[in-house]
């Protein structure tokens, strides 16, 4: 972005104010068509479906939706979903959602061919989510940090990034269950003893 050019920075991707469509109140809206990596297309072109500006989802649903977009090769749109959660999050969670959005933007920069921007955003996002070691909402904090480190370590070799996974598998998000105790070992049946020279008792005849 050139110096002196008015721009709005949304999720760490600069969008020129003159490129933004606005509503009747002058607020920017996402009407301009864009490709799968968020790059603006010519007016009238058919672009990817956009994320509504007023999107508001519960945290778990936001994570699921963002993962669907990542799996579809649309990290820019995943970042928009995560950014919407960041804007609506309480103060205690803002770094979490901002960090996740920055990771998605870092992946966007990488797929656009901007390795410098990718490294900066991936490192920044990993640093932010690292403040939440308890994996809130099932987010795989350790796995995402390791993913970011792997991607950054291979940037100079132009290695395609591995898939970005936001959360642990669903099974690991289930509440813990009471662990089963191993069964008690069965004791062998004892044989009644009799003294030498004595006649063992005969068992009672159950037919009597």
Contact 128, 98 (CB under 8 A): yes
Mean pLDDT in the chain?
77
Query: pLDDT tens digit string along 19-58?
Result: 445 545 554 555 678 877 878 888 878 878 777 778 889 9
* Helix/strand/coil for 139: strand
For residues 181 and 177, what is the distance between their CA atoms, to the nearest angstrom? Answer: 12
pLDDT tens-digit readout, 145-158: 999 999 999 988 87
pLDDT digits (tens, 9 = 90+) for 94-139: 999 999 999 999 999 999 999 999 999 999 999 999 999 999 999 9
Highest-confidence range of 66-70, 152-156, 182-186, by mean pLDDT? Answer: 66-70
CA 41 → CA 19, 26, 45, 105, 132, distances in Å?
11, 22, 6, 19, 37
Residue keyed to tokens 């778990």? 60
The answer to whether the beta carbons of residues 139 and 166 sit under 8 Å apart is yes
SS3 of 158-181: the string is CCCCCCCCCECCHHHHCCCCCCCC
Spatial CA neighbour of 79 closest among 137, 118, 136: 118
DSSP 9-35: EETTEEEEGGGSEE-TTS-EE--S-B-
- Give the domains, in start order, of the chain with CATH numbers: 58-173 (1.10.3450.10)
Supply the pTM of this predicted model. 0.68
d(CA 49, CA 46): 9
* C-alpha to C-alpha distance for 36 and 47, rounded to whole angstroms: 8
């Amino acid at each position: 972005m050139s110096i002196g050019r008015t721009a709005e920075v949304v999720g760490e991707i600069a969008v020129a104010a003159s490129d933004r469509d606005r509503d009747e109140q002058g607020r920017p809206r996402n009407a301009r068509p864009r490709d799968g990596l968020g790059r603006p297309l010519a007016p009238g072109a058919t672009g990817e479906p956009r994320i509504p500006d007023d999107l508001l989802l519960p945290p778990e649903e936001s994570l699921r939706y963002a993962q669907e977009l990542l799996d579809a090769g649309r990290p820019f749109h995943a970042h928009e979903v995560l950014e919407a959660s960041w804007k609506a999050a309480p103060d205690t969670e803002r770094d979490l959602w901002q960090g996740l959005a920055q990771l998605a933007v870092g992946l966007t920069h990488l797929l656009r061919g901007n390795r410098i921007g990718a490294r900066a955003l991936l490192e920044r996002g990993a640093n932010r989510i690292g403040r939440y070691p308890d994996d809130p909402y099932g987010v795989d904090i350790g796995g995402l940090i390791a993913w970011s480190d792997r991607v950054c370590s291979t940037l100079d070799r132009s290695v395609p990034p591995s898939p970005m996974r936001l959360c642990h598998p669903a099974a690991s998000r289930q509440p813990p269950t009471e662990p089963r105790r191993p069964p008690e070992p069965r004791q062998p049946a004892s044989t009644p003893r009799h003294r030498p020279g004595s006649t063992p008792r005969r068992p009672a005849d159950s037919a009597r």
